[in-house]
Amino acid sequence: MNSLVRTGQNSSFAADPARYDALMSVLRDRVTARAFNAAYPMPRDHIELVMDAAAQAPSGANAQPWHYVAVTNAATKRMIAGQFASEHARRVAANEAGRARRALHRLDYEALAGAPGFIVVVLDPRMTWAFPGLMDGSELDQPYHANSERILLQSVAASVMAAHLAATALGYQTWWVSALGFDDARAAIVRELAIPRDLRVTDLLLFGPSLEPATPRWKKERRQILSWDKFDMDNFRTVEQIDEWIGELHGNNAIAAPGSPPKHIR
Q: Which stretches of the chain bind ligand FMN, using CB under 6 A? A: 31-32, 34, 107, 176-179, 217, 255
Please say which residue, 107 or 211, places its beta carbon nearer to ligand FMN.
107
Length of the chain in terms of residues written: 266
Please say which residue, 119 or 133, places its beta carbon nearer to ligand FMN.
119
Closest residue by Cα to residue 68 from 211, 185, 202: 202
Cβ atoms of 82 and 108 closer than 8 Å? no
Please say which residue, 40 or 218, places its beta carbon nearer to ligand FMN.
218
Please say which residue, 178 or 235, places its beta carbon nearer to ligand FMN.
178
Min. distance of Cβ 23 from ligand FMN in angstroms?
A: 16
**Closest residue to ligand FMN, based on beta-carbon distance:** 179
CA atoms within 13 A of residue 249's CA, in its CB half-sphere: 14
Min. distance of Cβ 36 from ligand FMN in angstroms?
A: 13
Cβ atoms of 218 and 260 closer than 8 Å? yes
Min. distance of Cβ 2 from ligand FMN in angstroms?
A: 31
Please say which residue, 49 or 107, places its beta carbon nearer to ligand FMN.
107
Min. distance of Cβ 140 from ligand FMN in angstroms?
A: 31
DSSP letters, 68-92, are EEE---HHHHHHHHHHHHHHHHHHH
DSSP secondary structure letter of residue 265: G
Min. distance of Cβ 239 from ligand FMN in angstroms?
A: 22
Please say which residue, 31 or 188, places its beta carbon nearer to ligand FMN.
31
DSSP letters, 171-213, are T-EEEEE-----HHHHHHHHHHTT--TTSEEEEEEEEE-BSS-
Min. distance of Cβ 163 from ligand FMN in angstroms?
A: 12
Helices assigned H by DSSP within the chain: 17-29, 44-55, 74-94, 141-169, 183-192, 222-225, 239-251
